[in-house]
Structure 1
């Protein structure tokens, strides 16, 4: 490389550095995730909460869609058959329930599913129990046999394998 080409390259680097420094000096709010005093925006701190609430909403919508689909199938089967369907007795109050935790489910969805399955009665108390004992990150994926008479402590021990 000759001297003249090397000078042009160095002038190019110098001009780009000056332009970037001037842009940062005069338009600091235009940079993503920054403010005038250099602190992070409030929007960047609550992504986890937004992620969990979005997942919970999607899970709820999925369950509602499945329930609507199963009720429409049940309605079609009762309309199409001339023999009435047998009525099944509701399961016993303390009968074991197969509870499934899938990969990627946030804690809020797991607790909502426990409440909807009738395994726990107070969402806030169970969530506080998990938080107090640092079990939030120890919830394991799997299929568990749980019953409502187990209590919060036993259910937490089973799903966290502690």
Structure 2
């Protein structure tokens, strides 16, 4: 599971292009979610330095969780993408469900902790490990009812 760190291939990923492809794939797999994912991007050319498969896996996990816990209406999932300081980009995946109860929050990223009958309890644990492997972070923000993935921005070399 975690030996993925060994063969990590971080490359510049344009988040608008990534999101459009990701959203298409997500709604193909979750037809009920068509029209229920909104994305707001602050800036039109945000590029992160990340392993594309890892980004895919983390976003899949966050959006799946968000959809499952949302009201599953047209405001179910909101994704906010913006710069965070000069060096990073923040991707927040929020849903309009009830939020994570306080007693569960401390356990969110623990391996094998789950509130789902079919859950492995590895989703958020793996998501955070993959964020860390890509020099990023993953946090839960109760006030936003969402998870924030922070990744390094592609640094354009100044001559």
TM-score normalised over the length of structure 1: 0.21
Give the TM-score taking structure 2 as reference length.
0.22
Higher relative contact order (CA 8 A, sep 6+): 2
Query: Highest Rg: 1 or 2?
Result: 1
Whose strand fraction is larger, Structure 1's or Structure 2's?
A: 2
